[in-house]
Structure 1
Amino acid sequence: MFFSPAISNICLGLSILIFVSGLISRKISFSFSKKTLKIYLLICTPFLLTFISFLNSYDTIYSLDFLWLRAPLFVLPLMILNLNNIEKKDIDYAFLLYVFAAFLATVISYVNAIKIYFEHGLFLDPNLTRDYITPIQHPYYGIFTLVAIITLYFYGSIIKQKKVRVFLLVFFSVGVVLSTSRTAILLLLLFLVYTIFSFFKNHKTYRLLVLGSLGVIVFLSVSNTVLKTKIINTLSYWDSPRAWLWDNSYKVIKYSNHKLTGTGIGDFYRIKRSPEKFIHSQRGTYGYNPHNQYLEFLITNGIFGLLYVFTMLYLLYISYRSKTVYTVMIVLIISVFSFTECIFNRQFGIQLYSFFLPVSLILATKKQ
Structure 2
Amino acid sequence: MQKDIGRVVPLVIIPLFVSVHRKEDYNFKNIYKVLGLGLFLGMLICWYNIFVSIMSRVDYVKQASYFFQWIYTDFNLVKPLDGHPSYFAILLVLFISAILFNKEFYNIRKNKLKFVLFLSPFFLFLIETNSRIGVIVLVMMVLYHAIKQGSTKLFLSGVALVFLIVLLAIKFDYLGSKFKKIFSPEGSVSIERVERWKEIIQVFNDEDNFWFGVGSGDARLVYRRAYYNGGFELALKKNYNAHNQYLEFFVSNGIFGLAIYLFVFFNFFRNTYLRINAIHFFIAFLMFSMSESFLGRSQGVMIFSFFYSFLLLYYKPTHNLSNAKEE
What aligned pairs does 1:100-179 form with structure 2 within 5 A after superposition?
Answer: 100-111=37-48, 118-119=62-63, 121-126=65-70, 128-134=72-78, 135=81, 136-155=83-102, 157=104, 161-162=108-109, 163=111, 164-179=114-129
1:13 is matched with: none
Paired with 1:66 and 1:351, the residues of 2 have a C-alpha distance of 13
Conserved 8 A contact 1:169-1:210:
no
Cα offsets for 1:148-185 (capped at 9, x unmatched): 11232344636955555543323212221111110001
What aligned pairs does 1:174-253 form with structure 2 within 5 A after superposition?
Answer: 174-197=124-147, 201=151, 214=161, 217-224=164-171, 225-236=173-184, 242-253=193-204
Distance 1:127 1:345, change over 3 A: farther
2:212 is matched with: 261
Conserved 8 A contact 2:204-2:222:
no
Pairing partner for 2:309 from 358, 361, 368: 358
Structure 1 residue 146 displacement after superposition: 1.0
1:28 is matched with: none
Conserved 8 A contact 1:166-1:210:
no
Structure 1 residue 223 displacement after superposition: 3.4
Cα offsets for 1:270-311 (capped at 9, x unmatched): 799699xx53359xx9x6411111111111111212214532
Distance 1:83 1:158, change over 3 A: farther
Conserved 8 A contact 2:99-2:105:
yes
TM-score, normalised relative to structure 1: 0.67
Conserved 8 A contact 2:75-2:129:
no
Distance 1:85 1:139, change over 3 A: closer
Conserved 8 A contact 2:108-2:115:
yes
Runs of 4+ aligned residues of structure 1 deviating over 6 Å after TM superposition are: 207-213, 270-275
Paired with 1:212 and 1:258, the residues of 2 have a C-alpha distance of 45
Same amino acid, percent of matched pairs: 20
Q: Which moves more between the two structures, 78-87 or 141-150? A: 78-87
Conserved 8 A contact 2:137-2:284:
yes
Structure 1 residue 219 displacement after superposition: 3.8
What aligned pairs does 1:332-347 form with structure 2 within 5 A after superposition?
Answer: 332-347=283-298
Q: Which one-letter code corresponds to 1:121 in the other structure?
A: S
Paired with 2:16 and 2:48, the residues of 1 have a C-alpha distance of 38
Conserved 8 A contact 2:170-2:176:
yes
Distance 1:113 1:294, change over 3 A: same
Q: Which one-letter code corresponds to 2:170 in the other structure?
A: S
Distance 1:356 1:344, change over 3 A: same
Count of paired positions: 296
Cα offsets for 1:69-103 (capped at 9, x unmatched): 22211221122122126345x33322211110011
1:23 is matched with: none
Structure 1 residue 238 displacement after superposition: 11
Q: Which moves more between the two structures, 162-171 or 100-109? A: 162-171
Paired with 1:139 and 1:97, the residues of 2 have a C-alpha distance of 20
1:80 is matched with: 18
What aligned pairs does 1:322-337 form with structure 2 within 5 A after superposition?
Answer: 322=273, 324-337=275-288
Does residue 287 of structure 2 align to residue 349 of structure 1? no
TM-score, normalised relative to structure 2: 0.74
Structure 1 residue 241 displacement after superposition: 5.0
Paired with 1:178 and 1:217, the residues of 2 have a C-alpha distance of 14
Q: What's the secondary structure of 1:71's corresponding residue? A: helix
Conserved 8 A contact 1:292-1:339:
yes
2:228 is matched with: 279
Paired with 2:222 and 2:268, the residues of 1 have a C-alpha distance of 35
Structure 1 residue 66 displacement after superposition: 0.8
Structure 1 residue 209 displacement after superposition: 12
Structure 1: unaligned runs, 5 residues or longer: 1-62
Q: Which one-letter code corresponds to 2:98 in the other structure?
A: T
1:11 is matched with: none
Distance 1:215 1:250, change over 3 A: closer
Paired with 2:191 and 2:128, the residues of 1 have a C-alpha distance of 20
RMSD between aligned residues: 3.8
Distance 1:261 1:95, change over 3 A: same
Conserved 8 A contact 1:291-1:339:
yes
Q: Which one-letter code corresponds to 1:340 in the other structure?
A: S
Cα offsets for 1:190-247 (capped at 9, x unmatched): 12324545776498xxx89976984664243453354222112134499855345423
Paired with 1:244 and 1:316, the residues of 2 have a C-alpha distance of 31
